[in-house]
Structure 1
């Protein structure tokens, strides 16, 4: 079981590397990684389990955040229409995105960032991604709003980008707070 002790924190070099694609069909090891990351997210959102294991609540987790430089991430979150997105995804690729921008009103947080960082993170309002899910099935997801932001945050982790890199005009990214779920 993944715990917060397994989550690498900012400053760790793996968070700044471009992660490597994985082979398809997924190996048992890669499928297990995706399943474990998804289990962590579900546990982190369960108040009893989160307290018992001292887990910060999260809606997304990328393999680099657990020290694995592979193009894998998991998401467990609802969109604004109460549709649940609960999956692990391998080798995700953005195939289209809107020019229109969107952002979380209170900024973003991250399981790999223990401090709070204030600032608006501009994201695409809509995007379509393709990848392989944790069941080795090809998936195409058309995302908008909040869930699109979650996926973009995790995609950034696969490219060595931290959310605060995108905050415009933030001179010192080690300065200020962001409440809410960590991505």
Structure 2
């Protein structure tokens, strides 16, 4: 199947990304924690290319992998930086893998997009999902870890991923897009499923480490 790594088409890519193999699993922050409720600070240009930044990205890939996530923002591992990673399929069966720093979503002409009402969950609200309207197309502009410009376009579910993760970096959980009634329902569902979800993550983390 086709794969785009950092927006570039490649012949193949490992099921477990190399970054996840190198990384260390971190704890995923959960709804109610302050770090998820404020906008993240931009990654300073002076940190591009640093070993610390590369290690953070590796850790985020490892954490996303063991949680079966499509994307993960830095504040979901407690880090106040405008950065997210992704490993997500789009509606045409293309797998997208990569990271993006200081992303900004293009404001598409409303006439060029439509809203898709599909199920959406969040690793910081474990075990719950609900229908959330999102645009069927999104373009994120930012930089890779070395400071090279990136333009990442997503359609369908990958567009949803780009919007969801950028929301995180703006200090916004998908719960904020729901009615109070739906928000309460999602939180109840998460409370009931949380223990089993975290246990599954622990098992997968042990497998990755082994």
- TM-score, structure 2 normalization: 0.69
Residue ranges of structure 2 left out of the alignment (5+ in a row):
1-22, 194-210
Structure having the larger proportion of residues in strand: 2
For 1:98 and 1:2, locate their aligned partners in 2 and report how far apart those are by CA, in whole Å. 41
User: What aligned pairs does 1:1-183 form with structure 2 within 5 A after superposition?
Assistant: 1-3=23-25, 6-24=27-45, 26=48, 27-41=50-64, 44=65, 55-99=66-110, 100-104=114-118, 107-118=119-130, 120-167=131-178, 169-171=179-181, 173-176=183-186, 177=189
Shift of 1:103: 3.0
Structure having the larger proportion of residues in helix: 2
| 2:106 aligned counterpart, secondary structure | strand
Shift of 1:116: 1.9
Larger radius of gyration: 2
Shift of 1:23: 1.5
- TM-score, structure 1 normalization: 0.78
Residue ranges of structure 1 left out of the alignment (5+ in a row):
45-54
Is the 8 Å Cα contact of residues 61 and 75 (structure 1) preserved in structure 2?
yes
Is the 8 Å Cα contact of residues 91 and 155 (structure 2) preserved in structure 1?
no
Shift of 1:115: 4.7
1:58-87 CA-partner distances (Å, limit 9, x unpaired): 110000000011101000112122222111
Shift of 1:102: 1.7
Is the 8 Å Cα contact of residues 89 and 96 (structure 2) preserved in structure 1?
yes
Structure having greater relative contact order (Cα 8 Å, sep ≥ 6): 1
For 2:67 and 2:62, locate their aligned partners in 1 and report how far apart those are by CA, in whole Å. 13
- Say if 1:153 and 1:69 are closer, same or farther in 2 by CA, change over 3 A: same
| 2:183 aligned counterpart, secondary structure | coil
For 1:134 and 1:81, locate their aligned partners in 2 and report how far apart those are by CA, in whole Å. 27
